[in-house]
Amino acid sequence: MSSSTLTTPLDSPGALPIAITLGDACGIGPEIIVRAFASGEANDCVVYGDAAWLARTARAMRFAPQSGGPVIVELGALAEWRDAPKGAMPVLPVVQLPADLPLGQVDARAGAAAFACIEAAANDALAGRVGAVVTAPIHKAALHAAGVEFPGHTEILQHIAGGAPVRMMLANAQLKTVLVTVHMALRQAIDAVTTDAVLQTLRIAHQAANAWGLARARIAVAGLNPHAGEDGLFGDEEARIIAPAIAQARREGIDASGPYPPDTVFMRARHDPPAHPGAFDIVVAMYHDQGLIPVKYLGVEQGVNVTLGLPFVRTSPDHGTAFDIAGKDQADPSSLIAAIRMARQLAAQSAPALQPNA
């Protein structure tokens, strides 16, 4: 990564843009992108996608410029984003979508286009040309139909970034959870909870928190079994696998504790001052649903998916493509807007930590 990467806050004259990827064009991604720009929350962003498709989406939503919709500007090169009119939507034409794509349906062409946009944005982030990447929702079946054999954004970005260990964090203003395992069957996830995997998760969460300015984040670790195993009555993974990882993390200076009963640790960590200051800064969960359900229960519209461990900031909305409402002008952009705000904040806070040899 170049020495200039992420060195400037994104609201300053020398700032880098935030890349927003189009997502699956058959879903609600284009709609929420249009709404985010119309709201004024994406003024420092560039969309990696297809300007014609976004213009068509805006027309279908009756978001013409004269009625408050953004002016859509197709860029000849990324560097031109600064020359776009204030309030415009700059679009880097990474793909050209066919006009007959069916909204609300799986289509391999949409899957291929979504992957191309992710790849282009990630490569620009690695090269220091954008300050962060925000990804609109993709559809796994469309990706697979296009021959892309990754289960999701996390694995795609990990591959593009060179295969370094990464972890998924789901966060809102009240709760941050980091997952030991992500997209796999529950039976496989249980086997994937190893001492090394838990310890690596703790290290990644600790390093990320340091980058955000939390020098000693309080990290709670959830147990795998009910009541965290109840002293071995309901399973021994806590004592045999999880506790040794916590002990090693503490020897490395990481403020990790647990394992705690999973049915109460998230409530203890909830940060909602002044009534709930939160006993922990981050909760490490053992598997996908264990960690994601508590955050989503607090409000899907404010949840943000963050990939930890990448050499650049990546966030995304906490929802999928919503094929059932695609094209019906019902999509809520709140989670995308939250993802843009968090990307902007983390990029500014993480600038020194993302430099070479930092």
Q: Please report, in tens digits, the pLDDT of each residue of the chain (358 residues total).
A: 222 333 334 444 458 999 999 999 999 999 999 999 999 999 999 999 999 999 999 999 887 665 667 889 999 999 999 999 888 999 999 999 999 999 999 999 999 999 999 999 999 999 999 999 999 999 999 999 999 988 889 899 999 999 989 999 999 889 999 999 988 899 999 999 999 999 999 999 999 998 888 888 999 999 999 998 888 899 999 999 999 999 999 999 999 999 999 999 999 999 887 677 889 999 999 999 999 999 988 877 788 999 999 999 999 998 899 999 999 989 999 999 999 999 998 988 875 444 433 3
332 shares a domain with 196: no
Under 8 Å between Cβ of 156 and 117: no
257 shares a domain with 183: yes
Quick check: is 168 in a domain? no
CA distances for 11 relative to 71, 131, 151, 237, 345, angstroms? 21, 11, 34, 47, 10
CA-wise closest residue to 125 among 171, 86, 92, 173: 92
Token pair of 133, please?
Answer: 């990447």
127 shares a domain with 5: yes
325 shares a domain with 243: no
- CATH number of the domain at 69, please: 3.40.718.10
110 shares a domain with 2: yes
Quick check: is 16 in a domain? yes
258 shares a domain with 222: yes
Contacts of range 62-69, beta carbons closer than 8 Å, 24 or more positions apart:
62/329, 63/34, 63/35, 63/38, 68/38, 69/34, 69/38
Under 8 Å between Cβ of 270 and 175: yes
Domain end call among 272, 298, 324: 298
Quick check: is 306 in a domain? no
Quick check: is 323 in a domain? yes
Token pair of 86, please?
Answer: 């204030």
Counting the structural domains of the chain, the total is 2
329 shares a domain with 286: no
Under 8 Å between Cβ of 161 and 310: yes
Instruction: Give the bridge partners for 282, in sequence order.
Output: 219
Rg of the Cα atoms in the chain: 20
Compute the distance between CA of residue 171 and CA of residue 195 in angstroms, rounded to an integer.
24
By residue range, what is the domain housing residue 59?
Answer: 1-163+311-358
Quick check: is 247 in a domain? yes
Render 135-165 in DSSP notation, one character per residue: E----HHHHHHTT---SSHHHHHHHHTTS--
78 shares a domain with 59: yes
